Chain A
Amino acid sequence: DGGITQSPKYLFRKEGQNVTLSCEQNLNHDAMYWYRQDPGQGLRLIYYSQIVNDFQKGDIAEGYSVSREKKESFPLTVTSAQKNPTAFYLCASSIEQTANNEQFFGPGTRLTVL
């Protein structure tokens, strides 16, 4: 089955520690995205990548970093510089980054920083 996987589903970390969230897709999509959701709010774009070895900051990139070394993988690192890291994180992909293309979403990772 084609799709997007994110692991783990729940993640707990101590304050001050960096943590990396995994996102893998086998849909052969060029574009990938990371979103954050906070209670009562919509999805806010953290980073996106249109193609391998290229990525761009989204609306709330501060305190996060990404890499896109392989087409199928787009890991997100939440660094200690992110002031409010506790949130629900969603990864998505689309065939390519154009306005008409729908995004396909993974199941999400809920990160709690203690």
Chain B
Amino acid sequence: ILNVEQSPQSLHVQEGDSTNFTCSFPSSNFYALHWYRWETAKSPEALFVMTLNGDEKKKGRISATLNTKEGYSYLYIKGSQPEDSATYLCAPVENTNAGKSTFGDGTTLTVKP
């Protein structure tokens, strides 16, 4: 089982603050990495899929970067809003694992108005 670590486990910020969190994974056998957002009482939804070292993806105020050589990805949220409150899951995929994702425990973000 792939060892995936997300930090911090939880984060409380004020509306308008920018924030970021980390997903760490073994750099060997890397193939792709997914970020998902999971809001309370809803289903997880895909944010990004990243495959190339140095990749940067952006969706509105949310962006992510990928470093496959050192085995980490950052997720950034600029100007956090209460609707950004959710658990953010990363899921790297090994090239030897038949496309199966291994999920981290997530970072739970709470944005206070």
Contacts and interface: CB of A to CB of B under 8 A. Distances in A.
Interface of A: 4, 31, 35, 40-45, 48, 56, 58-59, 90, 97-108
A108 B40 CA distance: 12
Interface of B: 1, 4, 6, 9, 31-32, 34, 36, 42-46, 49, 51, 89, 91, 93, 95, 98-106
Interface of A is mostly: loop
A44 B105 CA distance: 10
A80 B31 CA distance: 37
Question: Closest 3 interchain pairs by CB?
Answer: A102-B46, A42-B103, A99-B32
Nearest to A37: B103
Nearest to B50: A100
Contact of A98 (B6, B45, B91, B99): B99
Contacts of A97: 98-100
Nearest to A102: B46
A42 B89 contact: yes
Contacts of B36: 103
Contacts of A59: 1, 102
Given A40-B105, A100-B51, 20 more contacts: A31-B99, A40-B9, A41-B105, A42-B6, A42-B89, A42-B105, A42-B106, A43-B89, A48-B100, A56-B98, A59-B1, A59-B102, A99-B99, A100-B32, A102-B46, A103-B46, A103-B101, A104-B46, A106-B43, A107-B43
A9 B94 CA distance: 32
Contacts of B103: 35, 42-44
A41 B87 CA distance: 11
A40 B95 CA distance: 27
A68 B49 CA distance: 27
Contacts of A42: 4, 6, 89, 103-106
Contact of A105 (B43, B100, B104): B43
